[in-house]
Amino acid sequence: MGMKGILRVVPKEEYLLPGNPSCPGCPASLGLRYLLKALGGKAILVIPASCTSIIVGPYPFSSLRVPVLNIAFAAAASTAAGISEALKVKGKEGIQVVVWAGDGGTADIGLQALSGAAERNSDILYVCYDNEAYMNTGIQRSSLTPYGAWTTTTPKGKVEEKKNLPMIVAEHKVPYVATASVGYPIDLILKVRKAIKYRGFKYIHLHAPCPYGWRFPANKTVEVAKLAVKTGIWVLYEIENGKFRLTSLSSSLIDPSKRLPVNKYLKLQGRFKHLSEEDISRIQERVNTMWDELMRLVKES
């Protein structure tokens, strides 16, 4: 793509400030940096308890050049909906109210508020950064931790499957739902810009590989994120007014021979190092079946 191509999409202006408390190689920092660039800083963030509550900075300092409201877990989506209504009453246009929440805060603890706001079609953008566990409290499993992954509460590997949250949100028939990855920032930024053109509920599910919690070296965050997409374990798509579309690299992976074997992704991460050959084949089969279902969606759209 080259520098010119990148700068055509990604503004130079920074809204996430350096010297913040995030871990080296943090995917939440990457995601926030891209999100705020996409929004040109015209946003109010609502953030439930998570690693990001730390990253936004120790009082009296903030690491973000936008207003942030730290809020209790169960209240993020409803609070954001309220702020959005208040801005309308005050006649303030052009400011996007965004929930930025982790997987635990979204798929477990905040799910009813999220579902309520989606059903009411509240005018907010909800971004779930999915690092697949409760990282800030020390790597406990969530309903978005994948099958087989070690966490401190699944010492032999998780036995349940990962909840398919973006599709659950899409079933609320909201105008815009997308998946994204910190390894594909251009795709993410274009999706954020597309999402905020819609009035109503927008949802972006951002895959966010965490070096600390997934047990890989800090220099591999982007590499692991890309491998999730290249192996087809994580799929980049968007659903606009019910119309499904694969995006970026995922759109060229329908042919199974184009996808890398899942082990290329799994073997970089300590959280999967105990997996048996059978576990790995099971994960591969699940990925193949998921892509068969995606094929059906592509054909229907």
Ligand X SMILES: Cc1ncc(C[n+]2csc(CCOP(=O)(O)OP(=O)(O)O)c2C)c(N)n1
Catalog residues that contact ligand X under the rule CB under 6 A: 49-51, 73, 102-105, 131, 134-137, 142
The single residue among 38, 44, 64, 227 that binds other proteins, judged by CB under 8 A, is 64
Distance CA 145, CA 150 (A): 9
Q: Which residues are registered as beta bridge partners of 203?
A: 126, 177
Q: 13-22 burial, b if ≥16 CB within 10 A, otherwise e?
A: eebbeeebeb
Distance CA 112, CA 181 (A): 25
CB of 13 to ligand X, least distance (A): 25
Q: 68-83 burial, b if ≥16 CB within 10 A, otherwise e?
A: beebebbebbbbbbbb
CB of 106 to Mg ion, least distance (A): 9
Tell me, what amino acid is at 201? F
Question: Interface with other proteins includes 91 (CB under 8 A)?
Answer: no
Question: Interface with Mg ion includes 22 (CB under 5 A)?
Answer: no
Give whichever of 25 and 157 is closer to other proteins, judged by the CB atom.
Answer: 25
CB of 33 to other proteins, least distance (A): 6
Token pair belonging to 189: 């930024």
Give whichever of 73 and 198 is closer to ligand X, judged by the CB atom.
Answer: 73
Distance CA 80, CA 213 (A): 28
Residue 24 CB: number of other CB atoms within 10 A?
Answer: 11
Question: Interface with other proteins includes 10 (CB under 8 A)?
Answer: yes
Could you say which residues in the range 46-105 bind Mg ion, by CB under 5 A?
Answer: 102-103
Nearest to 111 by CA among 142, 152, 150, 68: 142
The single residue among 20, 96, 106, 131 that binds Mg ion, judged by CB under 5 A, is 131
191, 205 Cβ separation under 8 angstroms: no
Q: Which does 193 bind (CB under 5 to 8 A by kind): other proteins, ligand X, Mg ion, none?
A: none
Could you say which residues in the range 187-246 bind other proteins, by CB under 8 A?
Answer: 211, 217-223
Q: Which helix (H) or strand (E) holds 181?
A: strand 176-181
Q: Which does 218 bind (CB under 5 to 8 A by kind): Mg ion, other proteins, ligand X, none?
A: other proteins
Question: Interface with Mg ion includes 110 (CB under 5 A)?
Answer: no
Distance CA 166, CA 185 (A): 19
Q: Which residues bind other proteins (CB under 8 A)?
A: 2-3, 6-7, 10, 12, 14, 16-27, 29-30, 33, 56-65, 68, 185, 211, 217-223
Q: What are the residues binding Mg ion (CB under 5 A)?
A: 102-103, 131, 135
